Amino acid sequence: MKSKNNIQRIVKSLVLASTLGLSSVVSAGEVEVLHFWTSGGEAKSAAALKELLEAKGHQWRDFAVAGGGGDAAMTVLKSRAVAGNPPTAAQVKGPSIQEWGNEGVLANVSAVAAEGDWDNLLPSVVANVMKYEGDYVAAPVNVHRVNWLWANPAVFEQAGAALPNTWDEFFDAADKIKAAGLIPFAHGGQPWQDFTVFESIVLGTGGADLYNKVFVELDEASMKSDGMKKSFEILRRLNDYTDAGSPGRDWNVATGMVIEGKAAMQVMGDWAKGEFTNAGKMPGKDFVCMAAPGTADAFTFNIDSFIFFDQSDSGARDAQNALAATIMEPEFQQVFNVAKGSIPARLNMPREPFDACALTSMDDFVKTAETGGLVPSVAHGMAAYSAVAGAMSDVVTKFFNSDMSAEDAVAAYVTNVMEAKASL
């Protein structure tokens, strides 16, 4: 496996570096936490964890690496590991947890999990991702839903447009909004954001069935299907409805355009809601959350979690265990998720503190788990190993930023993905 080999190299260097005396400088009772929550709403959410941990008498050393989607943070994490100095905990999720687990560098927090009854408090779809060979090596903070459309109702009213439930309706509305001199589609042109939009388009075009076949099962025939071609065509059309400032724009800046009424809509996971609420906006009044076009019966899940690195110092280990326990406590799961826009990973949490968007999410999470509409977000590292997801994302971004035809995009997509699959 290519990505595994990368990590193996990193870990070899890590062992070498620690024999040279470059081991972690985390002191007793301290946790150094690497994460990528740097926008307004995200920083507020991360602060909740810091405060609760410090209330237990431990110290939090913040290591925030800016960059939505976490690509930059993962690069920094690998180089920290290479330097023989991994943090105490890092925001890592999905199949990557297994990649790190394969190297034997993770701490086993099963004793904390047993004490906290995690097996009974987590849905099995969540618990399984947190375990490596049957032991807990990670703790989940939330469940984000990715297939959302965020809209500013005042902009729609001004343009005489209706909120869209399908992609045809989306483009009808977009034409009206554009004619009114406003930006229909707030988008940040970064590969992970292009891919976030594309996965929702595929879901809306071919349902959970096509989604699973092309993103999870890597089924070649499905990758060549009309549904994929149509999905690329829809992505292409979006180019006409965003603005000249889109390339390179951060996701939260794009959300800000919707908040301020400069743009009408954004397709983004519900961390965007953290920006609306952080700006004092009310769902249903100042902004609308609705399923991305054609995806009301589906739920793309994205579970944030922290992995824990082995500690030799017992004080650091105690602090690390306290962090793991705190993450699963009801108080943290509530305060954090209200601010973050997500829903708790922990079951049976009170509903009252959560707004209408979160309540829809909670209900749909349960419903889609039964109907088969619950799918892992590929753009957010939940569905495929990073090498495969990267191969997909490369084609999507190249297509979106060139005049490549949808047919050529499908062909390039199949070649890239099959190559990456073969290298695993």
Shortest distance, position 46 Cβ to ligand BGC, whole Å: 10
Q: List the one residue out of 155, 163, 150 whose CA is nearest residue 179.
A: 155
Whether the CA torsion 372, 373, 378, 381 is positive or negative: it is negative
Q: At 35, is the secondary structure helix, strand, or coil?
A: strand
Asked if 69 interacts with ligand BGC (CB under 6 A), we say: yes
Which span (68-76, 173-181, 284-292, 348-356) binds ligand BGC, by CB under 6 A?
A: 68-76
How far CA 241 is from CA of 168, 171, 272, 401, in Å, comes to: 14, 9, 20, 14
Which span (63-71, 180-188, 217-225, 290-298) binds ligand BGC, by CB under 6 A?
A: 63-71
Asked if 256 interacts with ligand BGC (CB under 6 A), we say: no
Site string for ligand BGC, 164-203 (x = CB under 6 A): ----------------------------------------
- The answer to whether 299 and 204 are in contact (CB under 8 A) is no
Tokens matching residue 419: 């190559």
Shortest distance, position 177 Cβ to ligand BGC, whole Å: 25
Asked if 147 interacts with ligand BGC (CB under 6 A), we say: no
Residues 153-182 as b or e (16 or more Cβ within 10 Å = b) = eebbebbebeebbebeebbebbebbbeeeb
Which of 199, 270, 304, 364 is the binder for ligand BGC (CB under 6 A)?
A: 304
Which of 208, 380, 386, 413 is the binder for ligand BGC (CB under 6 A)?
A: 380
Asked if 344 interacts with ligand BGC (CB under 6 A), we say: no
Q: Total number of residues binding ligand BGC (CB under 6 A)?
A: 11
CA–CA distance, 413 with 415 (Å, rounded to integer): 6
- The answer to whether 127 and 119 are in contact (CB under 8 A) is yes
Three-state SS across 218-252?
Answer: CCHHHHCCHHHHHHHHHHHHHHHHCCCCCECCCHH
Which of 60, 132, 195, 271 is the binder for ligand BGC (CB under 6 A)?
A: 271
Shortest distance, position 74 Cβ to ligand BGC, whole Å: 11
Closer of 64 and 127 to ligand BGC (Cβ): 64
Asked if 376 interacts with ligand BGC (CB under 6 A), we say: no
62 membership: H or E segment, kind and range: strand 59-64
Asked if 42 interacts with ligand BGC (CB under 6 A), we say: yes
For Cα atoms 295, 298, 299, give the angle at the middle one, nearest 5 degrees.
110
Asked if 140 interacts with ligand BGC (CB under 6 A), we say: no
The percent helix, strand, coil of the chain (3-state, each to 5) is: 55, 15, 30
Which of 36, 132, 136, 232 is the binder for ligand BGC (CB under 6 A)?
A: 36
Q: Please report, as ranges, the residues that interact with ligand BGC according to CB under 6 A.
A: 36, 42, 68-70, 144, 251, 271, 302, 304, 380
